Amino acid sequence: MTTILGISGSLRHASFNSGLLRAAQELAPAGVDIVIGSIADVPLYNGDDEATYGQPAAVEVLKRQLAQADGLLLVTPEYNNSVPGVMKNAIDWMSRKDGLELFVGKPVAVTGASPGGFGTVMAQAAWEPILRTLRTQPWWEGRLLVSRAGGLYDAQGNLTDDKTRQAVADFIAGFAASFDG
Rounded mean pLDDT, 96-119: 95
Question: For the residues of 60-91, what is the DSSP string, one character each?
Answer: HHHHHHHHH-SEEEEE---BTTB--HHHHHHH
Check residue 153 and report its DSSP letter: B
**Whether 49 contacts 87, CB under 8 Å:** no
Rounded mean pLDDT, 3-19: 96
Helices 57-68 and 85-94, interaxial angle, to 10°? 70
3-state helix, strand, coil in the chain (%, to 5): 45, 20, 40
Mean pLDDT (the chain) is 96
Write down how long the chain is.
181
**Whether 76 contacts 124, CB under 8 Å:** yes
* pLDDT in the model for residue 180: 60
Nearest alpha carbon to residue 42 among 6, 83, 92, 82: 92
pLDDT in tens, 25-37: 999 999 999 999 9
pLDDT in tens, 41-81: 999 999 999 999 999 999 999 999 999 999 999 999 999 99
All structural domains of the chain: 2-177 (3.40.50.360)
pLDDT in tens, 110-152: 999 999 999 899 999 999 999 999 999 999 998 999 999 999 9
Rounded mean pLDDT, 149-161: 96
